[in-house]
Amino acid sequence: MLLAIDIGNSYIKCAVFEQNTLLNKFIFKQDEAQKNFKKILKKYEKVSNGVISSVANLDENTISYLKKNINLLEISNKTPFPFSNNYKTKETLGIDRLVLSAGAVLSFKNQNRLIIDAGTCITYDYVDSNNVYQGGAISPGLSLRYNSLNTYTAKLPLLENKEIDFLIGKSTSESIYSGVINGVINEIDGFITQYKELNKDLTIILTGGDAVFLAKSLKNTIFANSNFLLESLNNLYTYCNNKND
């Protein structure tokens, strides 16, 4: 069994895999990390291997605990990936974006892929059918937009996400909801349309914490999977192991 761990900006997400089957998924905050890892490894005693990617810093004690209890593969920019990288500043490319791109290559072979990760930030990553990573875009996610409106204005309230069915806001709160949610939906649909102009044969993968929330409102046909990063970690672990054999 394998423990796949994604250290994100807001939460830690991890999953236990038996080969390609996701058995269980866990989400918790960083200050609860070691306690939760102990519970997971106690419940799943057959977990002997792990793979971890991080866009935030996890404390050294927790990393040491994991290394003492499982064989841990830490994904970095030096990890072998199943694509060539055409990014100009390769050292600045986020590990999460690399992992998602690897997962897209391994899961959707010989296709042009646009991977959209709707989390704290919304990232767009394009890998062509020749398995060349070409780059993408980064913009603020839903929660960042709500927070910035509240933080950088004197009177706008801090709102939490909810489903809406209107375009025209009839109050300040409704106007914020319309601006944030409809703005993100139109942004994503707009990016997809522009990428399709570059290549009509395009596989679109939507993932991240807000994937399910956004998927039903998008006009374009997409493959929505909120667990895609964890599944990509599992697939990348297998790929790296096979490379070393």
Q: What distance in Å separates the CA atoms of residue 227 and residue 206, rounded to the nearest whole number? A: 10
CA 210 → CA 83, 225, 245, distances in Å? 27, 10, 38
Q: Write the burial class of residue 125 (CB in 10 Å: 0-12 exposed, 13-18 middle, 19+ buried).
A: buried
Length of the chain: 245
Q: Is 210 a catalytic residue?
A: no
Q: What distance in Å separates the CA atoms of residue 149 and residue 147, rounded to the nearest whole number? A: 5
Q: 3-class DSSP state for residue 132?
A: strand
CA 151 → CA 11, 155, 175, distances in Å? 21, 9, 17
Q: Exactly one of 31, 59, 96, 210 is catalytic; name it.
A: 96
- Give catalytic residues, as residue numbers: 96
